[in-house]
């Protein structure tokens, strides 16, 4: 299809908005009904089969399923016309960091409801993956007070009917290889448990950041289908155990052992309150066909080191070798360990807190990280920022500054090494660094393992231990705000890990301005019960079933009267008619 082309006699093709292995999708304009639609074009031998099997979508009418308006063929091309959804798919939202843990559970429960509707009508999707789940922007509340439907299941072009013979040849594999169930990949046929497997694999990938089945080549991916999949708890140990158990059950090789869509939806809705509303899921580690990496490992570490070296070289050429050296030392490790660019400057919060004598409160921020390595790295980077900034400003931000004069350090590499980096090698600085790293790891483990009540008690003990260790390492009295800041940081981390529940009760509904609230009813003494009235006898029906039928003349008169009333009503409803 090209822009400006008209297909099926009424749809004017616009720009391309998507595509995949089964065709391309364009925005189009419906000339007859004057509305925007999405037109998918399938070319080749599968065009006729897709059109015949796409009749399955005509059975579906659910707010969580993209509505199919029309389908047809023209030569060797097939066209599927559906509603145009203004929203991104799950893969794009995860890559942009706009999909939180709690939001994913809510969308997953909505997808379960949509699949249950399809399965009840004998329709199996057979190609469920993150690219085929569209998410509409939130548009408030529905009439019944429940959140509006946001997740929409798209692309029913290769759906199959359970109660009709499939038009796909026996043994032919249809769908996306990396999301197929074992029975679907072997050509045995796909039923409702196959959709449950694909949905579980989709949710696993979004929560973990990688697809556990995808490999470097299609052949390797095909061999991995049906093999035991690592539990979701290994990639995301902080997720609730019931959630990990539900996702793991969906990936069971035996279709009979997988939960139903209703059971999975209840499990996702049940853990919603235990998931964080703002913490984004890990971005996809790699696209299909590319080797997957563990979360947090950058794809090109040597490029990061090369960039740091280039920054140092440019700083030297600009006459600021000291500044270039400092930036390379502070940003290169952050780029290697932290996979989000916006987190590279996060350790700079530590020296800002140090201006108030509360630099160790940064440990609460580092403890929120999912992996132990990230917690330790973020705490070490915060400590490095505090030492370097304190030495450059001549201000004790938690570690005594260096003895050398920091004046002119930005323009001299040797002065930078002597004035800013030498204080990092003192015994006091190393002791403080070990305290920071151990404190971040310990608080993170406490948040992962303890209940909210136990975390509160553990947070008090943790704050006291950090104050004592820093006082012993620094050989001096801690700042007066250190203990309150540590307690506040630990409380904030506990509240954040619990999903940020509401701390204040909801306000009572106030009466509109200008209206007085209704007076409270006064309690009256209990009175004697009134005698109940006698129930009147039922009225005799005007036309009882046992009554004799009217004769032909009466029936004809009543029929004529009904026709006259219908004609008068039509004439009154549509002015101008005779």
Distance (Å, rounded) from C-alpha 352 to C-alpha 339?
Answer: 23
**Could you give the strand order of the β-sheet that contains 35-43, starting from the edge strand earlier in sequence?**
6-7, 11-20, 23-30, 35-43, 77-83, 68-74
**pLDDT over threshold 80, residue 394:** no
Distant-in-sequence, close-in-space partners of 17: CB < 8 Å, separation ≥ 6: 25, 26, 27, 38
Q: Give the percent of the chain with pLDDT over 70.
A: 63
Residue intervals of the chain classified under CATH 3.30.200.20 are: 6-83
CATH superfamily, domain 6-83, is: Phosphorylase Kinase; domain 1 (3.30.200.20)
Classify residue 121 as exposed, middle or buried by CB count within 10 Å of its CB (0-12, 13-18, 19+).
middle
Among candidate residues 256, 237, 268, the one with its CA nearest the CA of residue 373 = 237
The sign of the torsion formed by the CA atoms of 352, 319, 409, 309 equals positive
Q: What is the pLDDT of residues 425-440, one digit of tens each?
A: 777 778 888 888 888 8
Q: What is the pLDDT of residues 527-565, one digit of tens each?
A: 555 555 555 565 555 555 455 555 566 666 777 776 666
Higher model confidence: residue 570 or residue 331? 331
* Axis-axis angle for helices 241-250, 261-270 (nearest 10): 160
Strand 23-30 to 160-161 pairing = unpaired
Query: How many other β-carbons are positioned within 10 Å of the β-carbon of residue 226?
Result: 15
Residue 176: strand, helix, or coil: coil
Please compute the mean of the pLDDT values over residues 157-164 and round it to a whole number: 48
- Look at residue 60 in the predicted model and tell me its pLDDT: 83
Q: What is the pLDDT of residues 449-458, one digit of tens each?
A: 777 778 788 8
Higher model confidence: residue 375 or residue 567? 375
Among candidate residues 443, 279, 422, the one with its CA nearest the CA of residue 376 = 443
Please compute the mean of the pLDDT values over residues 85-102 and round it to a whole number: 88
On whether the CB atoms of residues 90 and 100 are closer than 8 A, the answer is no
Among candidate residues 288, 202, 301, 284, the one with its CA nearest the CA of residue 247 = 202
The arrangement of secondary structure in 88-162+175-274, i.e. its CATH architecture, is: Orthogonal Bundle (1.10)
Distance (Å, rounded) from C-alpha 381 to C-alpha 490?
Answer: 19
Residue intervals of the chain classified under CATH 1.10.510.10 are: 88-162+175-274
Q: What is the pLDDT of residues 492-541, one digit of tens each?
A: 887 776 666 656 554 554 544 555 555 555 545 555 555 555 555 655 55
Q: Which residue among 30, 89, 101, 127 is the active-site one?
A: 127
**pLDDT over threshold 90, residue 293:** no
State the DSSP code for 141.
Answer: B
Model pTM greater than 0.85? no
**pLDDT over threshold 90, residue 335:** no
| pLDDT interval class at 474 (50, 70, 90) | low
Residue 111: strand, helix, or coil: helix
Please compute the mean of the pLDDT values over residues 345-350 and round it to a whole number: 82
195 assigned to active site: no
On whether the CB atoms of residues 248 and 236 are closer than 8 A, the answer is no
Helices (H), 418-551: 427-449, 452-474, 482-497
């Amino acid at each position: 299809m090209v822009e400006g082309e008209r297909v099926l006699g009424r749809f004017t093709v616009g720009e391309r908005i998507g595509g995949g292995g089964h065709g391309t999708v364009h925005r189009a304009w419906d000339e007859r009904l004057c509305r925007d639609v999405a037109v998918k074009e399938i070319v080749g031998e599968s065009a006729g089969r897709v059109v015949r099997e796409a009749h399955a979508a005509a059975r579906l009418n659910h707010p969580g399923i993209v509505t199919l308006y029309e389908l047809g063929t023209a030569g060797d091309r097939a066209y599927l016309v559906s509603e145009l959804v203004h929203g991104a798919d799950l893969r794009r939202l995860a890559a942009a960091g706009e999909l939180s843990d709690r939001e994913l559970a809510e969308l997953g429960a909505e997808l379960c409801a949509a699949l249950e509707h399809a399965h009840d009508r004998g329709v199996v999707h057979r190609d469920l993956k993150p690219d085929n789940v569209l998410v509409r922007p939130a548009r408030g509340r529905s009439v019944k007070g429940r959140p509006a439907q946001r997740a929409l299941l798209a692309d029913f072009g290769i759906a199959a009917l359970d109660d009709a013979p499939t038009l796909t040849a026996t043994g032919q594999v249809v769908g996306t290889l990396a999301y197929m169930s074992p029975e679907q990949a072997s050509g045995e046929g796909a039923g409702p448990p196959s959709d449950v497997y694909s949905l579980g694999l989709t949710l696993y990938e979004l929560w973990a950041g990688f697809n556990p089945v995808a490999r470097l080549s299609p052949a390797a991916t095909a061999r991995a289908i049906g093999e035991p999949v690592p539990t979701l708890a290994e990639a995301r140990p902080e997720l609730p155990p019931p959630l990990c158990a539900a996702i793991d059950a969906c990936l069971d090789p035996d279709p009979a052992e997988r939960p139903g869509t209703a059971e999975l939806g209840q499990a996702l809705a049940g853990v919603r309150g235990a998931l964080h509303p703002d913490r984004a899921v890990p971005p996809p580690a790699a696209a299909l066909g590319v080797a997957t990496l563990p979360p947090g490992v950058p794809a090109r570490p040597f490029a990061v080191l090369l960039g740091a070296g280039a920054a140092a070289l440019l700083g030297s050429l600009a006459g600021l070798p000291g500044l270039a050296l400092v930036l390379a030392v502070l940003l290169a490790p952050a780029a290697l360990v932290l996979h989000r660019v916006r987190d590279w400057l996060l350790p700079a919060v530590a020296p800002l807190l140090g201006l108030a004598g509360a630099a160790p409160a940064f440990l609460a921020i580092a403890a929120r990280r999912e992996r132990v390595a990230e917690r330790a790295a973020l705490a070490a980077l915060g400590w490095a920022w505090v030492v370097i900034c304190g030495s450059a400003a001549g201000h004790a931000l938690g570690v005594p500054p260096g003895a050398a004069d920091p004046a002119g350090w930005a323009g001299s590499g040797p002065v930078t090494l002597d004035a800013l980096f030498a204080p990092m090698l003192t015994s006091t600085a190393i002791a403080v660094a070990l305290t920071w790293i151990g404190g971040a790891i310990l608080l993170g483990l406490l948040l992962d393992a303890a209940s909210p009540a136990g975390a509160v008690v553990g947070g008090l003990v943790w704050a006291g231990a950090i104050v004592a260790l820093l006082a012993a390492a620094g050989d001096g009295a801690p700042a007066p705000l250190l203990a309150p800041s540590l307690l506040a940081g630990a409380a904030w981390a506990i509240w954040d890990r619990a999903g940020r529940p509401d701390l204040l009760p909801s306000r009572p509904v106030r009466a509109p301005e200008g209206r007085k609230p209704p007076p409270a009813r006064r309690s009256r003494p209990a009175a004697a019960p009134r005698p109940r009235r006698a129930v009147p006898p039922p009225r005799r029906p005007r036309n009882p079933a046992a009554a004799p039928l009217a004769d032909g003349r009466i029936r004809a008169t009543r029929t004529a009267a009904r026709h006259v009333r219908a004609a008068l009503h039509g004439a009154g409803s549509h002015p101008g008619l005779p």
